[in-house]
Amino acid sequence: MILALGDIHGNMDPTIKKINKLEITDAIILQVGDFGYSFADVLQSKKKYVKSLLYYNDIFKHKNIIMYVVRGNHDNPKYFNGEFCFSNLKLMPDYSVFDIKCWNVLALGGATSVDRCERKVNKEWWSNEKFTVDVDRLQAFRDIDIVISHNIPTVLSNTLPLLPLNNFFKKDVLLESELISEKKDFDLAYSILKENNKIAVWVGGHWHRSASLYNEHTLFRVAGINELVELI
């Protein structure tokens, strides 16, 4: 069983309760970012942060569950460098590819914090948090079956209700243009990847909504906050 988990914003408890209630075992969970524990520099030490990751790693190990986490905008990028990949809980570097149950999965981390004007830079949001298009790497990928990202291409995001962002636009004069640019970046990534790969599923979060649609033989799925949904 392959599941997707929406943004959890540092609170794993609802997910653990669902796993226990549904008696989920022997599963893969793709967590779509805004994992949220990466405010460690503010709320806790790195040592305590790792301790919390290992705590949940042990819970997943007992249930034979492996959770792969992609970087969201509310995740400190320094924790997604490959160092924090434990046996059953793995924070995946951007552009990493991993195999699950004979499916090749590509992790595309990053997004823009719309509320960054109200947060402290490099403490509560990060200057290098955005999704970055690497055209050469995208063109080189073959046999990718699943893409997991935080934000998603506009084929799905344009069908979702508009977020109330006017107040943020007034406070952050660059935000609107950067969000438009980010949409183009995700669409570019999709257009490149679909040339050489038959993508079965593209899953993301970020929008705090639950939605899905099929486009060109790909299931696009966005998971809501704390939502746990079966993909395959």
What SS3 class is residue 157? helix
> How confident is the model at residue 38, as a pLDDT?
55
Give me the residue label for tokens 């060109």: 216
Q: Does the pLDDT value for residue 43 go beyond 80?
A: no
Q: Does the pLDDT value for residue 39 go beyond 90?
A: no
Give the side-chain half-sphere CA count within 13 A for 149. 28
193 — pLDDT class (breaks 50, 70, 90): very high
Whose CA is closest to 188, among 131, 103, 114, 130? 131
User: What number is the average pLDDT over the span 97-102?
Assistant: 94
- The number of residues in the chain equals 232
What is the percentage of the chain residues whose pLDDT exceeds 90? 86
Strands of the chain (E only): list them.
2-5, 27-31, 65-69, 89-91, 97-100, 103-108, 146-149, 201-204, 211-215, 218-222, 228-230
User: What number is the average pLDDT over the span 66-86?
Assistant: 95
pTM of the model: 0.95
> Which residue did the predictor score with more confidence, 24 or 42?
24
Residue ranges of domains in the chain = 2-230
User: What number is the average pLDDT over the span 197-213?
Assistant: 97
**Among 1-10, 40-49, 52-61, 63-72, whose mean pLDDT is lowest?**
40-49
50 — pLDDT class (breaks 50, 70, 90): confident
What is the percentage of the chain residues whose pLDDT exceeds 70? 97
> How confident is the model at residue 36, as a pLDDT?
79
> How confident is the model at residue 232, as a pLDDT?
86
Q: Taking a C-beta distance cutoff of 8 angstroms, is the pair 40, 126 a contact? A: no
Q: Does the pLDDT value for residue 40 go beyond 80?
A: no
pLDDT digits (tens, 9 = 90+) for 158-179: 999 988 999 999 999 999 999 9
Give me the residue label for tokens 């905008």: 73
Average pLDDT over the chain, rounded to whole?
A: 94
> How confident is the model at residue 151, as a pLDDT?
98
Q: What CATH code would you report for 2-230?
A: 3.60.21
